[in-house]
Amino acid sequence: MKIHSRAVHVGDRKRPASGPASIPSTTPIHTGTSYAYGDLADLDKVMGNELPGQSYARYNNPTTDALEELVADLEGGAGALACSSGMAALHIAIDTALIDRRRVILAAKLIYGATLGMLTKVFEPAGVEIVYADFDDPDAVATAIAEHRPSVIVMETIANPLLRVPALDKIGRMAREANVVLIVDNTFATPLITRPLEFGASMSVHSLTKYLSGHGDVLGGIVVAGDEHFAPLRALARTVGFNLGPFESYLAMRGIKTFPMRMERHCSNACKVASWLATHPGVERVYFPADPKHPDAENIRRVFAPGLYGGMVAFEVKDADRAGIFRFMNALKMIVPGTSLGDVHSLMLYPAIASHRELAPKHRERLGIRENLVRLSVGIEDIEDIVADLDQALRLHV
């Protein structure tokens, strides 16, 4: 089946081992925290992973199992682990990768601010050495691998917020050759655009909150792992309990059924918005992967599905300081000023006070995140309405 069909069907309609043949057409919400068996020997085998089944909700849950099966299928992994947030998913992915390995992480300089915070405030104080490199330069990555011998690499398919696209295929090959665990945050791209495991990643991480669920009503994350890392990932999850609850799993799975169709609309609208912004007198610069002059155009051609560039657009408002950005965003009538992305409605974020707030202004400037930069998650509304809202806000308040 193609991805649109798999998103609708995978994970649903699990037939019970016994009892009537009828089953619900979609996976229901299972709220039980513990499970009883007629024969204690069966429970023993289930808890020992000798038989499939449920025993305790920290280990697994039928609703969450279905969600995990679905996302693992979409990403092409051996299995998945749904977590309470995207950051929890990234945390347990890194923890899993560090088991019995050198405590050295190589990370991209340009990456989500909360990820930088986790590396510097959680892993570094715990004795993990964190090394940063310019992932827009494959030679710099290769040099860092040779010099620091990391056990883990952390990167994004589309870097937040400047939308750079590292050479995932080349970095994946380097990771395999050096026996390094490559963890890729694929939230911005989604498996419709690229599947990191196909390019050598060991684990692909998503904030379920974003494009996969898509409606701004679920907080969750998920890790998809290959054969080598799925078993240790599940084993660690039994201990730390980062689980996603059944209600959130149900909502996420329901959202994913329309994810490919929604994502195509996000991509289409984003292309049109980026092209329009590039001609606006109130806009200094536009960042978007479809731009033929994008510095990573060759990487995009190799690792992205044809014609799909994501739903994120970043741009700099001409001559605007922080107060000017506030005026501009306060003037928006339909687009929502908010701290997330990937919803059906358009969302705008100011990185300086949100995603990269914890970075010093000079650090942001060095990364290219200027005070006049905003990040737009283009929704699925009518394109004329999105453009009209941006136009009136740019013209009246900057």
| Catalytic positions, written as ranges | 58, 112, 185, 210
Distance CA 69, CA 65 (A): 6
Closest CA to 291 of 271, 277, 311, 263: 271
Q: Is the backbone of residue 4 left (phi > 0), alpha (psi -120 to 50) or beta?
A: alpha
Tokens of 36: 């009883």
C-alpha–C-alpha distance, residues 167 and 307, integer Å: 18
Q: How far apart are CA 300 and CA 304, in angstroms?
A: 5
Residues paired with 155 in a beta bridge = 184
Alpha helices in the chain (DSSP H): 3-9, 40-47, 62-75, 86-98, 113-118, 138-148, 168-177, 190-193, 227-240, 246-256, 259-277, 297-303, 322-330, 361-367, 383-397
66: helix, coil or strand?
A: helix
Place of tokens 């005026």: 327
First to last CA, the chain: 49
What are the E-state strand segments in 87-196? 104-108, 129-133, 152-156, 181-185
Which of 214, 222, 229, 217 has the alpha carbon at shortest distance from 244? 222
Determine the residue type at 365.
Answer: E
Residues 6+ apart with CB under 8 A from 86: 187, 205, 206, 207, 208, 209, 210, 220, 221
Give residues with Cβ within 8 angstroms of 42, minimum separation 6: 51, 53
Q: Which two tokens stand for residue 58?
A: 């920290």
Closest CA to 336 of 262, 390, 294: 390
CA pair distance 188, 341, nearest whole angstrom: 9
Q: How many CB atoms lie within 10 A of CB 241?
A: 12
